[in-house]
Amino acid sequence: MKVWKILDNKSYDVACYVKVSENVFDGTWYALRLARETIDRDLCTTQLLDVERGEQMEENIPVLEIL
């Protein structure tokens, strides 16, 4: 499972995380679409959470999921 950070357009703070199954083709697009529908329609920036370097999800940030 990959975890995408969806960033706020103005402050570049994390607006939410979206967990996406490895089976989903173009997971970043689906993650952004779900975040726009759920959090804010103006979101436009995604970044993959870098778990290999020990990056972890921040607390108190919404987590969405696509299976």
DSSP assignment of 32-60: HHHHHHHT-TT--EEEE--GGGT--PPTT
- Whether residue 1 contacts residue 20, with contact meaning beta carbons closer than 8 Å, is answered with yes
Cβ pair 48, 31 in contact under 8 A: no
Which residues of the chain register pLDDT less than 70? none
Cα 9 off chain centre by: 13
Q: What is the pLDDT of residue 10?
A: 85
pLDDT at residue 9, as a whole number: 87
